[in-house]
C-alpha cells in the first residue's frame, strides 16, 4: 500500500494512492461508515490490524465511491509522510564514495546523528535556507519507518519491525555542521528533512537492499 499525508484545511489527512487516484481516508471512511485510522499516528498504534482495515476500506471505496472523491496528485499539497516521529535517527557517512570524497575514514561502526521534527518537510515544499549559513548540500536517503518498538532485536527479526519505506533528502548546512565535532547544528535546520511523497508499506518491498535511490538537481 502507498500511503501519504496531505495538508487539508489547515490539518493533516491520511491518503492512499490507488489505481483510481489518491483516496482521502477521512472522506471515504465517512461516506462508507467504516471506522479506520485517519492519521499516520493512529495507523501506527496497531499497524497490522489497522492496515487490514484500511485495505478493506480502499477495496470497498474502489467499488462503490464515485470518481469525484479521488484526487489527482497535482491537487494534493503533500506533508511529510510521517508527521510525529518520536525519533529521527540518521546514519552519517553511509555512502562509501561520499566518505572518500570528504576525506573521512570508512566507519567501522554506524555514525549516528539526529534530526528533529522541525526539520520535516513534504514533497514539493519550499525549504527556506537559513541566513546564517552559506554552504548547502543534499543527499538522497532511504527512510525506514518503524512500526513498533524495537529493543534488543535479533538481526534476523529486525525487518519484521519495519512498517514501511520512503525517500528522503538529508539537507545539510556544511559550514554550520563543521563548526564542531557534533553535526547537529548543520543538520536540523527548519525543513532540512524532506520525506515522501509516499510511504510504501513493507509488504511491497521484498528486498530493501535492492532499491534504486536517485537525486536530481535542476533536472
Of all residues in the chain, what percent carry a pLDDT higher than 70? 100
Is residue 161 assigned to a domain? Answer: yes
Domain identity same for 41 and 64:
yes
pLDDT of 52 > 90? The answer is yes
DSSP summary character for residue 67: G
Domain identity same for 178 and 110:
yes
Q: What is the reported pLDDT for 68? A: 87
Is residue 191 assigned to a domain? Answer: yes
The residues pairing with 187 across neighbouring beta strands, listed in sequence order, are: none
Q: What is the reported pLDDT for 97? A: 82
Domain count across the chain: 2
Its pTM stands at 0.92
Domain identity same for 7 and 96:
no
The full length of the chain comes to: 219
- Strand runs labelled E in 51-198: 88-92, 111-115, 120-121, 136-137, 140-146, 162-169, 172-173, 193-194
Domain identity same for 58 and 152:
no
Mean pLDDT of 84-107: 87
Q: Which of 38, 53, 75 is the last residue of a domain?
A: 75
Cα 13 to Cα 114, 200, 204, distances in angstroms = 26, 17, 22
pLDDT of 70 > 90? The answer is yes
Q: Report the CATH number at residue 170.
A: 3.90.850.10
Mean pLDDT of 161-182: 96
Q: Which of 51, 75, 99 is the last residue of a domain?
A: 75
CA distance 135 to 131: 11
pLDDT of 104 > 90? The answer is no
CA distance 187 to 189: 6
Q: Which of 42, 75, 108 is the last residue of a domain?
A: 75
Mean pLDDT of all residues belonging to the chain: 94
Domain identity same for 121 and 189:
yes
Is residue 117 assigned to a domain? Answer: yes
Is residue 209 assigned to a domain? Answer: no
Domain identity same for 129 and 189:
yes
Domain identity same for 68 and 93:
no
Q: In sequence order, which residues have a C-beta less than 8 Å from that of residue 214 and are 6 or more positions away? A: 140
Asked if the peptide bond before residue 197 counts as cis, ω within 30 degrees of 0, the response is: yes
Domain identity same for 98 and 46:
no
CA distance 165 to 161: 12
What pairing do the DSSP bridges indicate for beta strands 172-173 and 136-137? antiparallel
pLDDT of 99 > 90? The answer is no
DSSP summary character for residue 71: B
Domain identity same for 34 and 99:
no
Is residue 184 assigned to a domain? Answer: yes
Is residue 139 assigned to a domain? Answer: yes
- Helix (H) / strand (E) containing 64: helix 47-64
Domain identity same for 153 and 105:
yes
Instruction: Give the domain extent around 48.
Output: 2-75
CA distance 212 to 205: 12
Q: What is the reported pLDDT for 120? A: 97
- Helix (H) / strand (E) containing 44: helix 40-45
Is residue 57 assigned to a domain? Answer: yes
Domain identity same for 71 and 147:
no
CA distance 217 to 219: 5
Amino acid at each position: 500500500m502507498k500511503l501519504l499525508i496531505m495538508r487539508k484545511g489547515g490539518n493533516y489527512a491520511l491518503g492512499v494512492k490507488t489505481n483510481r487516484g489518491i483516496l482521502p481516508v477521512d472522506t471515504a471512511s465517512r461516506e462508507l461508515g467504516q471506522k479506520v485510522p485517519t492519521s499516520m499516528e493512529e495507523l501506527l498504534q496497531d499497524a497490522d490490524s489497522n492496515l487490514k482495515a484500511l485495505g478493506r476500506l480502499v477495496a470497498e471505496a474502489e467499488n462503490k465511491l464515485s470518481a469525484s472523491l479521488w484526487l489527482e496528485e497535482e491537487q494534493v499539497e503533500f506533508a511529510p509522510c510521517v508527521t510525529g516521529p518520536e525519533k529521527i535517527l540518521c546514519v552519517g557517512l553511509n555512502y562509501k564514495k561520499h566518505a572518500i570524497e570528504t576525506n573521512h575514514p570508512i566507519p567501522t561502526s554506524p555514525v549516528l546523528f539526529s534530526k528533529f521534527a522541525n526539520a520535516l518537510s513534504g514533497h514539493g515544499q519550499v525549504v527556506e535556507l537559513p541566513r546564517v549559513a552559506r554552504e548547502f548540500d543534499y543527499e538522497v536517503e532511504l527512510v525506514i519507518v518503524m512500526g513498533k518498538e524495537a529493543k534488543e532485536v535479533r538481526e534476523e527479526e529486525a525487518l519484521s519491525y519495519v512498517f514501511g519505506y520512503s525517500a528522503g533528502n538529508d539537507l545539510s548546512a556544511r559550514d554550520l555542521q563543521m563548526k564542531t565535532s557534533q553535526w547537529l547544528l548543520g543538520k536540523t535546520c527548519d525543513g532540512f528533512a524532506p520525506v515522501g511523497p509516499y510511504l510504501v508499506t513493507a509488504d511491497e518491498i521484498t528486498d530493501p537492499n535492492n532499491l534504486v535511490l536517485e537525486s536530481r538537481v535542476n533536472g
